[in-house]
C-alpha cells in the first residue's frame, strides 16, 4: 500500500469508517481460501457439534461479513456471522467480535431456523437475512432484492466445489427405504446427513 493510500485509510478509520480491502480480481480465490482456512478449525468443530455442514456455515460467513470479524452492518449486525445484538444475547454470545463466540451463536441460530423451516435452506437463509417475521408475513421468501441476492450468493458458494477437493457424496434413505446417493449439499442438509469424500 502506498503512503498516500495509508493516509487515506488512516483518515477513514479515524472518521469512524471501517475499511475493508478486498483482493484484486485475479487474486480472489487465494484470498477466500486463506480466510476460510483461518476460521476453519472453529467452523468445523462448532458445525459438527450442532450437526451442520461446515461448508454451509462458511458460505454464510462469506456472504455475511466476507470473513471480517469486526464487520458491523448499517442495521447493527456484528461479527463474522453478522448477529444482531438481540440474537447474540439470545444465543449466549458474550463477545460478538470473538470469532469462536460469534460462530457458535450463528450456528445455533441457523440450527434453530433449519428446524423451524423443516430443513428448507432457502427459507432458513431468508429468515437469517430478513428475519423470521418477514418470512412469516410473506409465507416464504420475502420479495426483497437484497434477501433474494443473499440466498443466491450463499447457495452458489455452498455448492461450489473447493479447489483441490473431492466431491462430497451424501447418503440417506428416502421415505420408501431406498438408498439415495447425491452430491447436492442442500438436499443432504434437508435430510440432516453429512457427506464423505
Instruction: Please give the grid coordinates belonging to residue 82.
Output: 453478522
Q: Is 161 helix (H, G, I), strand (E, B) or coil?
A: coil
C-alpha 101/C-alpha 79 separation (Å) is 10
Rounded alpha-carbon distances, angstroms, from residue 20 to 72, 83, 93, 120: 11, 19, 24, 32
Residue 64 annotated to the active site: yes
CA dihedral 72, 76, 77, 83 (to 10 degrees): 130
Catalytic pick from 64, 100, 146, 171? 64
CA angle, corner 162, sides to 160 and 163, nearest 5? 125
Name the helix (H) or strand (E) containing 112: helix 99-116
Catalytically active residues, by annotation: 64
Amino acid at each position: 500500500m502506498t503512503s498516500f493510500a495509508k493516509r487515506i485509510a488512516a483518515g477513514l478509520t479515524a472518521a469512524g469508517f471501517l475499511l475493508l480491502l478486498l483482493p484484486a480480481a485475479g487474486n480472489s480465490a487465494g484470498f477466500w481460501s486463506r480466510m476460510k482456512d483461518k476460521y476453519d478449525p472453529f467452523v468445523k468443530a462448532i458445525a459438527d457439534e450442532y450437526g451442520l455442514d461446515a461448508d454451509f456455515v462458511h458460505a454464510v460467513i462469506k456472504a455475511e461479513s466476507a470473513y471480517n470479524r469486526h464487520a458491523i452492518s448499517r442495521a447493527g449486525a456484528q461479527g463474522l456471522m453478522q448477529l444482531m445484538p438481540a440474537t447474540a444475547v439470545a444465543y449466549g454470545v458474550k463477545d460478538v467480535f470473538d470469532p469462536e463466540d460469534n460462530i457458535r451463536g450463528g450456528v445455533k441460530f441457523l440450527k434453530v431456523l433449519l428446524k423451524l423451516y423443516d430443513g428448507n435452506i432457502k427459507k432458513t437463509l431468508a429468515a437469517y437475512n430478513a428475519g423470521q417475521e418477514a418470512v412469516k408475513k410473506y409465507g416464504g421468501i420475502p420479495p426483497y432484492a437484497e434477501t433474494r441476492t443473499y440466498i443466491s450468493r450463499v447457495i452458489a458458494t455452498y455448492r461450489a466445489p473447493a479447489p483441490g477437493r473431492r466431491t462430497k457424496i451424501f447418503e440417506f434413505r428416502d421415505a420408501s427405504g431406498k438408498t439415495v446417493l447425491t452430491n447436492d449439499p442442500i438436499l443432504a442438509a434437508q435430510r440432516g446427513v453429512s457427506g464423505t469424500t
